[in-house]
């Protein structure tokens, strides 16, 4: 039987990416950090089921990654949708990162796990579809097994904690250091290049700007080929207007590389600015939504929806034992799905540094999204970016811990 271990050829290419100099540097760093990690894994454990509240009895709609539900009549459907999302948490007892590094990411890997969750959601939309549901104990499709194998905690899995942590060294983050949303976005962008099965294009839109020409060049590489083979008028037609870009043949549509779009934002200084709240909620209503990663300084969450004034999220702050695949790549997957009511927090508690994510399997939803009129945007007079210096300690900690590349969003 063919093994479900994903993409062996590209995995070998990914493994050869790391140079001996990088390995040597990692080994120096992790010898020191392993001692620190063992002594300083201050975190909390969310896997105490009695502490989780059920959904409130409210007439307000519940939005989960583009799907709308009623909390009064569709509670089972809500929980089924949430449970079907991949839930990546802290793990322990996995092979040492870098050969001699940490064997657990407890206390520092929450943003890395959130990055895994959003990419896992993108892969499931890509290969299984948004309406796919996980059922405990049910025999799973091969595509699902391959997706999950890509995140297993070992060095040769595409999106393992090992790969993300080691790739982060190139972004200036030593192994064992907490990431901000932008760093994990940049790392996922680099790792996705090696995933030839999914063929995802991960694009990180900086400076609050999505450049359509960049997206088209990344997702429709045949545009460059048309230019080379003497069809510049065809390229000009497509680049000149969105209508032309959408008027593609079936063969050309099939060549569109699925896009994962990450937009790192800072929606305020020390606290989220109230002017952005309704706009942020609307992100969860989009059919293309992959959610939002953010949380609080040094405490990251994966936000998948909202109800009323509360955000719904999956929390990675639970330490579970690493899972070893069995024969033919099969393994118990119960611990990769959150089987209790999801966590909720008031939207005003959200740290202003976030990354908004969307996935577009083909070009039409992408350009429809751009064409839609953002009528919910507020005027510039609604914004107040003056920091509260009575909270100067937290503000200083925020800028120390988060990525400097973030921009304050203009309305």
pLDDT in tens, 66-102: 999 999 999 999 999 999 999 999 999 999 999 999 9
Q: What is the pLDDT of residue 363?
A: 55
DSSP letters along 53-108, please?
PPPP--SSEEEETTEEEETTT-HHHHHHHHHHS-----EESPPPGGGTS-SB-TTT
Task: With beta carbons less than 8 A apart as the criterion, state whether 154 and 162 touch.
Answer: yes
Question: Residue 207 and residue 363: Cα distance in Å, rounded?
Answer: 23
Length of the chain: 411
Cα 97-103-104 angle, rounded to 5 deg: 115
Average pLDDT over residues 127-147: 93
**What pLDDT is recorded for position 51?**
54
Rounded Cα distance between 46 and 302, Å, is 14
CB 152 within 8 A of CB 323: yes
* Cα separation values, 410 from 274, 355, 371, 383, Å: 13, 15, 20, 8
Determine contact, residues 37/108, Cβ cutoff 8 Å.
yes
Axis-axis angle for helices 232-240, 212-219 (nearest 10): 130
Token readout for 71 is: 């909390």
Mean pLDDT of the chain: 76
Which residues neighbour 137 within 8 Å (Cβ) at sequence distance 6 or greater? none
For residues 395 and 270, the answer to whether their CB atoms sit within 8 Å is yes
Q: How far apart are CA 279 and CA 261, in angstroms?
A: 17
Q: What's the pLDDT at 108?
A: 94
Higher pLDDT, 368 or 335: 335
pLDDT at 381 over 70: no
Question: What single DSSP character describes residue 170?
Answer: T
Q: Give 358's pLDDT tier (boundaries 50, 70, 90).
A: confident
Q: For residue 268, is it left (φ>0), alpha (ψ between -120 and 50) or beta?
A: left
- What's the mean pLDDT in 352-374? 65
Burial of 78 from C-beta contacts in 10 A (0-12 / 13-18 / 19+): buried
Q: How far apart are alpha carbons 133 and 128 in whole angstroms?
A: 9
Closest CA to 14 of 187, 173, 260: 187
Domain locations in the chain as residue ranges: 61-221+255-388
Q: Are 58 and 307 in contact (CB under 8 A)?
A: yes
Take residue 190 and report the two structure tokens written for it: 């680099």
Convert the pLDDT of each residue in 170-227 to its tens digit.
888 999 988 888 889 899 999 999 998 998 999 998 887 888 888 888 888 766 655 5
SS3 state at 407: coil
Encoding tokens for residue 244?
Answer: 């032309």
Running DSSP on this structure, what letter comes out for residue 389? G
pLDDT bin (cut points 50, 70, 90) of residue 360 is confident
Question: How far apart are the C-alpha atoms of 333 and 330, rounded to whole Å?
Answer: 9
Per-residue confidence at 10, pLDDT binned at 50, 70, 90?
low
Q: Which residues are catalytic?
A: 110, 315, 317
Q: Which of 155-169, 177-191, 241-255 has the lowest mean pLDDT?
A: 241-255
Closest-CA residue to 292 (of 308, 274, 279): 279
132 backbone dihedrals φ, ψ, rounded to 5°:
-65, 140
Between CA 186 and CA 40 the distance in angstroms is: 27
CA distance to 52, 246, 284, 356, per residue, from 338 (Å): 12, 38, 19, 22
The more confident residue out of 343 and 237 is 343
């Amino acid at each position: 039987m063919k093994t479900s271990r994903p993409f062996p050829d590209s995995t070998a290419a990914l493994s050869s990416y790391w140079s001996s100099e990088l390995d040597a540097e990692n080994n120096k760093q992790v010898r020191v950090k392993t001692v620190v990690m063992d002594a300083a894994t201050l975190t909390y454990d969310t896997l105490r089921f009695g502490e989780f509240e059920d959904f409130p009895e409210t007439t307000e709609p519940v939005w989960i990654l583009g799907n709308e539900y009623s909390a009064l009549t569709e509670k089972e459907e809500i929980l089924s949708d949430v449970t079907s999302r991949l839930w990546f948490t802290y793990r322990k007892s996995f092979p040492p990162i870098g050969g001699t590094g940490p064997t657990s990411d407890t206390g520092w890997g929450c943003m890395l796990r959130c990055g895994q969750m959003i990419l896992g959601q993108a892969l499931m939309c890509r290969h299984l579809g948004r309406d796919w549901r996980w059922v405990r104990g049910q025999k799973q499709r091969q595509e699902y097994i391959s997706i999950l194998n890509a995140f297993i905690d070992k060095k040769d899995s595409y999106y393992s904690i090992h790969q993300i942590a080691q790739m982060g060294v190139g972004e200036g983050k030593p192994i064992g250091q907490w990431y901000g949303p932008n760093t994990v976005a940049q790392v996922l962008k680099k790792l996705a290049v090696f995933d030839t099965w999914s063929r995802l294009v991960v694009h990180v839109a900086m400076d609050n700007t999505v450049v359509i020409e960049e997206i088209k060049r990344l997702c429709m590489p045949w545009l460059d080929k048309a230019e080379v083979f003497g069809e510049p008028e065809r390229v000009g037609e497509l680049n000149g207007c969105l209508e032309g870009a959408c008027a593609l043949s079936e063969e050309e549509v099939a060549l569109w590389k699925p896009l994962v779009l990450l937009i790192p934002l800072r929606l305020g200084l020390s606290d989220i600015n109230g002017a952005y709240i309704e706009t942020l909620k609307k992100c969860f209503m989009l059919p293309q939504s992959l959610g939002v990663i953010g949380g609080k300084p040094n405490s990251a969450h994966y936000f998948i929806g909202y109800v009323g004034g509360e955000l719904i999220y999956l929390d990675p702050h639970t330490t579970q034992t690493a899972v070893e695949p069995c024969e033919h790549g099969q393994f118990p997957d119960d611990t990769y799905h959150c089987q209790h009511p999801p966590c909720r927090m008031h939207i005003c508690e959200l740290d202003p540094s976030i990354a908004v994510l969307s996935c577009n399997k083909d070009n039409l939803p992408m350009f429809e999204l751009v064409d839609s009129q953002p009528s919910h945007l507020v005027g510039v007079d609604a914004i107040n970016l003056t920091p509260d210096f009575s909270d100067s300690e937290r503000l200083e900690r925020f800028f120390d811990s988060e990525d400097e590349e973030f921009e304050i969003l203009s309305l």
